[in-house]
Structure 1
């Protein structure tokens, strides 16, 4: 017996038999209650004593059979559940799209019917479903209706159990979904709902008044038909209110708007902003994703081209250093030789040109290090006011031919910030030299510094001696000069180097052009006087 029971349990196809057994069990119990009620001599006095004994025996026998069958079914079902009813063994179906509330209502409704029916069977008269069961035809109709209710009850219980095991009960709850969607509304949805708030409130009040009137009339007149009409009306009103509160189209458009905002800001698009293939605006979401992919590809190509430029500059600066060193050595040797005055002049010109070439190669080398983020910075606390005064003092030793006057305006308190002193000296020196070089003769150059909130700002303004027909972004590119006629010295690397230095030291540089007025502003985070100073920053 035990071996047969074990084989029965291990057979996966026995699930259908278990379901049929659970269908038969309540029917047996109900029939046993029928015979118990028919054996009531007090109500059915025309029955003979022998027939009453037969009815009682049948009722008792069916109760014992039903009780034993129930215990066996509980044991087998529990073993079967542990062995086969596992979450990973179930696949999604169309039933999973039905909200859990529907199965919960079916379970409660059919359960209430079954309980009330069994309660009726326990009475002294068989008054079930509004009729007295007097013959076999009535009992057969009752068994069919009772079986259908059992089928609905078991199916609802089974589906709810599966959702509990798979932990999808709350995920498939319509109320939970509505609450989650309401909490996660997009900005567009909130704006539309704010405009429709009055209409939604009036519609809700209208539905409540009508439903209340129908319910009052149904209970007052004791009409079941009005209750059914009210239930159908509520069932139809819920989707209308849900559509007004959480419109699917508005939700999808809101996700697209958030998708576009993320693309505009250069941020990663959140997963909750993407649409599924079943949604109406899925193609538009795919087009946005394609645009994002194309933008990323374009950015990668630009970065690749930028890296190639940096590598070219680095290799070129290294390759030019070797022949330049030889040129410098040979020119120094020629200067020691006894040459004609004309030859000496030629040697002097060569010396000047090789110095210019040396400066340009050095600038190329510094630019390649600054843009490749491999440079080591010695960060320390500096005073912007002292730095400007020091650089201006050094430049005064080499007066400019244009004799531009510098007007310096600095606060009394120190303006501390953290940077590399050598790099910052080069930054300020380059900016002031450019201002002196390109300023209109006889005009003034204004140099100011101040503290703005938690930032230290330095600004240099001058009036250009030529027409500035370029943009602020263009002038900071490599090998770009404001003086396109190239009537002055320079090779167009100064501002590119300055911009890279400032960026690497966590600063910011802005250029503003207003007619002939050229303005450059650099700013750094303010450093408190008692903060730790003197540390090394490694670019990686």
Structure 2
């Protein structure tokens, strides 16, 4: 199953969407809560936009009736009102005695009428039916007549308020009570009912928007969190779980910081909610705080998810660190206890002897202190020498001397155990190297034997092809077959020879005849042999060679083969109608021959690493549409190193550069004194 790729951009988009949904969800919830607290949001109001048919209007009327009842009660108490009653009475008087009001009432008790009508006088008599007709003409009305036992209203829900709640106790026990209420539904006066209608019109349309936004943002919040849970810890093109710096902090510390910071922000959010804000200010404040909380939540939650994916939740915790420390202490308790005991003995002995020598002035204590200190110095020096002896043995093994053994005769305690373990490691490495060498030799022998077995029938094939060519066959198709057969057999012969040569070089069976050679002259000879091939591809040779001889110490035949392979590589893979740069320069007693050309094929695409070109069977033409075995550069590198030189391959885009470096040869003249 193909593994899903999570790019940095998709994860960033997921985090931004999660934060966005968090803010929207918080704003929607706070808006709905604000509407509920203002009694604007009720289930029955979702389908209507009419203020006078809403539950909010009913709540306003219930509140007005309660305040009116309290006001009338305070009015009848007269001088018997307390200071607190007077305060409420003044507030109600301002509310119920104002002339520009949409709420009109007529109240009769014990034959006395009370009203807020501006054209009435105190003690005026009213006819109940006339007042009721006037209330009905205003729009909404309510009549509560205990004289005729009559109740009627067109205000939705008010009958429940009077007969199904505790508020009915304000009226039902009274006799000879008449209450008539009229509400101007045109709201011509700008009173509290007018303000309530304005607030309802302004906020009620947001009910549906808030509910939809809350549901959609909640779904988006969950989906984005699921995506981030799956994506976190994974990088495009990389295997395993990637941990960042937060994931390396101890689990308990991250948890404590998250809980502390989140608690502070939640307290801030509740503090914001307790403040007297307008709706827009409340939404902005709550959205900002919720954004900060969600940022902390994502950092904490995704870190925990990455820890669980990488299975380091427990390992990267303080509890694990403590448990492992205790296990290690008890596991190594022998060493630990011995060190503590030695240190305690040292402190006690030194303290006792020092007290005797310097406080009680006992010479014997001073002598014993010096002897004790000398013994400690001896043991410390011996331990240091043994440590250094073990270190020298390790150094020799790291330098490749696997047969080296540390002498354990003069070692003691832990140093002796460590030296014996290192000796065993060296022996194991030596056996592994021997096995690897044997395997390489077996592979080389196999290549040699197979190549020799192929060589005999291949020689016969080549000879018979040559005999057929001498027959002068007139059939052109047959001649084409013969040419192909001849070319392929020669190529197979070259491959066989290269395999044998590679096998000889890797097994160390090449005998070198090291002589002083003029490198410049050898390059001129080799270049002359490739003039035809270079001209066929219209390659221009740009040569920069010293005019004097440059002598090096090498095997002439093998060095020629190295340079020939480099020239042959250029002839095969260089781009037509380009320049080939050949250069020899001397620097600090080093002679370097380099050859550069533009490759016909993109080396960056064919081979990801320039060093691959010197490996066996690696070719600049990965599609293998050109002649060659892929062993030329490998043989050239091996021969150069056998002769004490340095072989280098470099690729810069399509520019191919090869160089060989040898120490410059200087003749030493012996003079007899």
Instruction: Give TM-score, length-normalised by structure 2.
Output: 0.42
Equivalence map 1:191-210=2 (5 Å): none
Give the structure 2 partner of residue 303 of structure 1: 437
1:226 pairs with 2:337: no
Q: CA deviation at 1:307?
A: 1.0
Aligned-partner Cα distance in 1 for 2:613–2:408 = 40
Give the structure 2 partner of residue 524 of structure 1: 662
Q: CA deviation at 1:499?
A: 2.3
1:294 pairs with 2:428: yes
Aligned-partner Cα distance in 1 for 2:486–2:414 = 74
Aligned-partner Cα distance in 2 for 1:400–1:304 = 47
Give the structure 1 partner of residue 392 of structure 2: 258
Give the structure 1 partner of residue 602 of structure 2: 466
Q: Give the counterpart of 1:372 among 507, 531, 538.
A: 507
1:480 pairs with 2:614: no
Give the structure 1 partner of residue 638 of structure 2: 500
CA gap 1:282/1:475 in 2 versus in 1, 3 angstroms: farther
Equivalence map 1:262-277=2 (5 Å): 262-268=396-402, 271=405
Gaps of 5+ in 2: 1-349
Equivalence map 1:147-166=2 (5 Å): none
Aligned-partner Cα distance in 2 for 1:451–1:273 = 48
Contact residue 472 and residue 513 of structure 1 kept, 8 A = yes
CA gap 1:362/1:253 in 2 versus in 1, 3 angstroms: same
Q: CA deviation at 1:253?
A: 4.4
Q: CA deviation at 1:412?
A: 3.3
Give the structure 1 partner of residue 372 of structure 2: 236
Q: CA deviation at 1:475?
A: 3.1
Runs of 4+ residues deviating >6 angstroms: none
Instruction: Give TM-score, length-normalised by structure 1.
Output: 0.51
Per-residue displacement from partner, 1:25-61 (whole Å, max 9, x unpaired)? xxxxxxxxxxxxxxxxxxxxxxxxxxxxxxxxxxxxx
Give the structure 2 partner of residue 355 of structure 1: 490
Give the structure 1 partner of residue 569 of structure 2: 434
Give the structure 2 partner of residue 405 of structure 1: 540
Q: CA deviation at 1:408?
A: 2.2
Q: CA deviation at 1:356?
A: 1.4
1:422 pairs with 2:560: no
Per-residue displacement from partner, 1:120-149 (whole Å, max 9, x unpaired)? xxxxxxxxxxxxxxxxxxxxxxxxxxxxxx
1:454 pairs with 2:589: yes
Aligned-partner Cα distance in 2 for 1:335–1:283 = 77
Contact residue 393 and residue 405 of structure 2 kept, 8 A = no
Contact residue 415 and residue 450 of structure 1 kept, 8 A = no
Per-residue displacement from partner, 1:151-194 (whole Å, max 9, x unpaired)? xxxxxxxxxxxxxxxxxxxxxxxxxxxxxxxxxxxxxxxxxxxx
1:278 pairs with 2:412: yes
CA gap 1:355/1:293 in 2 versus in 1, 3 angstroms: same
Q: CA RMSD in A?
A: 3.4
Larger Rg: 2
Moved more, 514-523 or 228-237: 514-523
CA gap 1:314/1:335 in 2 versus in 1, 3 angstroms: same
Contact residue 558 and residue 639 of structure 2 kept, 8 A = yes
Q: Give the counterpart of 1:491 among 629, 633, 636.
A: 629
1:326 pairs with 2:464: no
Gaps of 5+ in 1: 1-206, 219-224, 533-540
Instruction: Please give the secondary structure, in 2, of the residue aligned with 1:323.
Output: helix
Q: CA deviation at 1:430?
A: 0.5
Q: Give the counterpart of 1:316 among 433, 450, 460.
A: 450
Aligned-partner Cα distance in 1 for 2:659–2:409 = 45
CA gap 1:289/1:352 in 2 versus in 1, 3 angstroms: same
Contact residue 517 and residue 556 of structure 2 kept, 8 A = yes
Q: CA deviation at 1:402?
A: 4.3
Count residues in correspondence.
314
Instruction: Please give the secondary structure, in 2, of the residue aligned with 1:397.
Output: helix
Per-residue displacement from partner, 1:57-103 (whole Å, max 9, x unpaired)? xxxxxxxxxxxxxxxxxxxxxxxxxxxxxxxxxxxxxxxxxxxxxxx
